[in-house]
Amino acid sequence: MSLVLATKNIDKYFKKPVLFHVLKDISFQIKKGEFASIMGKSGSGKSTLLYILSTMDTDYTGELFLNNELVTGKRASELSRIRNKNIGFVFQFHYLLSEFSVLENVMLPAKKLAEKSTAEIEHDAMEKLKMLHIGHLAKQRASRISGGEKQRVAIARALINNPSILMGDEPTGNLDSYNSENVFQIFKQLKEEQGLSLLVVTHDLDFAKRTDRIIEMEDGKIIPSMNG
């Protein structure tokens, strides 16, 4: 079985203002092509966990594997390379650079990785935009498009380096029901047509119910689930 992400016994403490055990013995796996959601009350530790899974936070104990490779303990420069290559992110807020064009925004993570020529990156970025039905917006300034379009641009940007997993922190949190459904369908299509793995923190039960698996958190722990 091909595992895209795995954690073993992850624990994390915040030391200030008082010592706080925020993540407790977190062990789970995400398979290739699996679309999982993380749910849980506010403060249960979802964002803290996602920050560790995305290799941004290294202050924890336990082990994190990406594509069967242990990433825990690697140097910051190596982690940055692994992150740029393997993980795409979509947040609640799109974080697009408003003065740049849609196309330039999508190209940025590939330029950072510096493995392809600018012409190749531009071609790849156009392909992603077309796949998300927003190719016609390529030359438009990012500030001049709608909220739903911005989130689709953010998804295109997250996909530009062909990651093995797409992580989302409330990716539909700012969207109306039409655009939320649109994002869900894009994610489903990425799973079904490209075998992409997805891990999405959400408060939207209707969204979560339609993913392959709900990982439920409570007080820093994963609640053993009924459905997988």
Ligand X SMILES: Nc1ncnc2c1ncn2[C@@H]1O[C@H](COP(=O)(O)OP(=O)(O)OP(=O)(O)O)[C@@H](O)[C@H]1O
Determine whether 190 is exposed, middle or buried from the number of CB atoms within 10 Å of its CB (0-12, 13-18, 19+).
Answer: buried
Residue placing its CB nearer to ligand X in the complex, 57 or 78 = 57
Q: Could you tell me the smallest distance in angstroms from the CB atom of residue 188 to ligand X?
A: 23
Q: Could you tell me the smallest distance in angstroms from the CB atom of residue 39 to ligand X?
A: 9
Determine whether 137 is exposed, middle or buried from the number of CB atoms within 10 Å of its CB (0-12, 13-18, 19+).
Answer: buried
Q: Could you tell me the smallest distance in angstroms from the CB atom of residue 58 to ligand X?
A: 14
Residue placing its CB nearer to ligand X in the complex, 104 or 169 = 169
Q: Could you tell me the smallest distance in angstroms from the CB atom of residue 129 to ligand X?
A: 30
Residue placing its CB nearer to ligand X in the complex, 16 or 75 = 16
Residue placing its CB nearer to ligand X in the complex, 20 or 133 = 20
Residues in touch with ligand X (CB under 6 A): 14, 20, 22, 40, 42-48
Chain-centre distance of CA 188, in angstroms? Answer: 14
CA–CA distance, 141 with 51 (Å, rounded to integer): 30
